Amino acid sequence: MKKIIFKNFLGETTHFFILSSFAVTIIVWVIQAVNYLEFVTEDGHSFKIYFLYTIYSLPKIFNKLLPFMFFFSIFFTLIKYEEQNQTLIFWTNGIKKITFINVIIKYSLLFLILNFLFSLLIVPFSQDKARSYIRDSNIDYLPLLIKPKKFIDTVQQLTIYADDKNDNVFKNIIIKDAFAKSKSKIIYAKRGYFSSKEDNNFLILTNGRILNISDGKTNSFDFDKTQINLSKYTSKSTKTAKLQEVDTLKLYNCLFRTEMSMPSFEEDLADKFKFKCFDNTKYKNKISQELFSRIFKPIYIPLLALIGGLLIIKSKNSISFTNFKFKIFVMGVVVISLSEISTKFYSINFNETALIFLMPFILFFLIYYYFTKQFDLKTK
């Protein structure tokens, strides 16, 4: 009977977690997608790239929400059971309250593992995948970005200006191509238009002049017609993988690399991830902080389960039950905020880092001790 009771409770909690997490994740995703639309399309990328970029942001959103949604699922289910007098079923069937709390803590370990999987593996992979679509895509919507009498520098190395625009035709175009540190090219054309051939985008220019600048020296020549292959240019979107997007194992290797593993590792990162493992203290501190964040945040999951379980201390018949519910909810939110904020104070100082790392364990045992003192465990 006890197994059936726990199975029903944990089943309802899991069901609520899945539905609520899905709903909230989608809502947050839609809100962020609006911001991503401006980010991606302003850089001249297609709707397909925008859609794929936003889809791969879903794991990150879910992982961010997971601790709160887990806590809220336990909180909501326990209140529902209390309001419907279903918690009496636990106690009348001889289930001790400490036993109930222990079951919730064991149950939380599943979400601890889930949080670890997302933090260490799934989120870095999905974030890098999203970045790869920006990194490898062509500039598809550049014609739409060019506005009359405005300088457009969306494209890496290129600055484009047009006096007038009529559909796909531009008049009095000025283009600066800074293709090297001490070399650049300025192009003026009376007329220009965009054309596509075999998946390549071209800017066709007519009746103009090209001015080449190299090491302070200039030369120029006129042309009747010329073209610029835009496919060889990229947008100014951030293409270098951020630390949050780099594989956990690669970050670990960068932090604790050996001379044997270093060459292949750097070559792989430089080519595939556009990310270089710099051998300096400041950079390694950032990597340490990122790794610490991925490992540290999931540790708070059992603590959140324990805080949610504190609701069984009082029944709905208690005068202060409403205030008690509010305090428990605020406590959960504060602990979640603490898990986010504490990683910002990560330090290379061992004592400070150890204190931050031990904080959730200290809070867990203090609250657990407080709980055991609320009841005579032999009779409850």
Range of the domain at 331: 2-137+298-373
Residue 131 and residue 176 share a domain:
no
Closest CA to 72 of 335, 298, 318: 335
Question: Rounded to whole angstroms, how far apart are CA atoms 231 and 227?
Answer: 12
Q: Are residues 19 and 99 in the same domain?
A: yes
> Do residue 104 and residue 34 come from a single domain?
yes
CA–centroid distance for 357 within its chain = 22
Per-residue pLDDT at 82 exceeds 60: yes
Q: In the predicted model, is pLDDT for residue 198 greater than 90? A: no
Q: Are residues 126 and 165 in the same domain?
A: no
- 3-state SS, residue 152: strand
Q: Are residues 103 and 60 in the same domain?
A: yes
Secondary structure E strands in 44-91: none
Q: Are 132 and 152 within one domain?
A: no
Mean pLDDT of 9-16: 94
Comparison of pLDDT for 242 and 264, the residue scoring more: 242
At 49, the pLDDT band (50, 70, 90 cuts) reads: confident
272 within a domain of the structure (yes/no) = no
pLDDT-derived band at 293 (thresholds 50, 70, 90) equals confident
Q: Residue 319, Cα to own-chain centre: how many angstroms? A: 43
C-alpha distances (whole Å) from 206 to each of 153, 221, 227, 314, 344 are: 22, 13, 9, 82, 55
88 and 56 in one domain? yes
Least confident of 2-6, 28-32, 263-267, 357-361: 263-267
Q: Give how many domains the chain has, as a whole number.
A: 2
Query: Looking at 232, 261, 289, which one is the last position of a domain?
Result: 232
Tens of pLDDT, residues 39-48: 555 555 666 7
- Domain-embedded: residue 264: no
User: Stretch 334-346: mean pLDDT, rounded?
Assistant: 85
Do 117 and 156 have their domain in common?
no
- Do residues 79 and 147 both lie within one domain? no
Q: What is the mean pLDDT of the chain?
A: 80
- For 119-135, what is each residue's pLDDT tens digit? 999 999 998 888 777 66
Q: Which of 11-20, 189-198, 239-248 has the highest mean pLDDT?
A: 11-20
